[in-house]
Amino acid sequence: MITYLYWAAVVLLVALAILGLGLHLGHWKAAIGIAAVLLAIGGGAYWFHFQQVFVKRWGGVMTIRVPEGQRHITATWKGDNLWIENYDPATNTCHFNEYARGNLLEGQVTIKDCNPLSR
């Protein structure tokens, strides 16, 4: 829900820029430019900061897919970053993957000869 409110606020700001500058004052180039900048800032802020914060703290929405051929084991939060553990039966390895803000500086830990499904 919080994600939808965020994007509604971004769209409202863009609409105000277009309506205020473009329609009311007739400055269409400035209106389109400011609207594009507002969309870029809103998208960047969401992608690089707010997405995981919304999910962890306020019940936002986020989708992560398990790689083909792997089986999901667990997920946990470390700070504001999500860590996912998957098992690859073809190579008998466990993979811990970090999903950091904006997908930058993501960590990965691989455990060889890991067979959690045989316990």
Q: How far is Cα 104 from Cα 79, in angstroms, rounded to an integer?
A: 15
| Count: domains in the chain | 2
| 35 and 11 housed in the same domain | yes
pLDDT tens-digit map of 68-114: 999 999 999 888 788 999 999 899 999 998 887 666 667 888 889 88
| 45 and 10 housed in the same domain | yes
For residue 13, being part of any structural domain is answered with: yes
For residue 11, being part of any structural domain is answered with: yes
Nearest alpha-carbon partner for 72 in 105, 117, 111? 117
Q: What predicted TM-score, i.e. pTM, was given to this entire model?
A: 0.63
For residue 63, being part of any structural domain is answered with: no
Q: Which domain holds residue 21?
A: 2-58
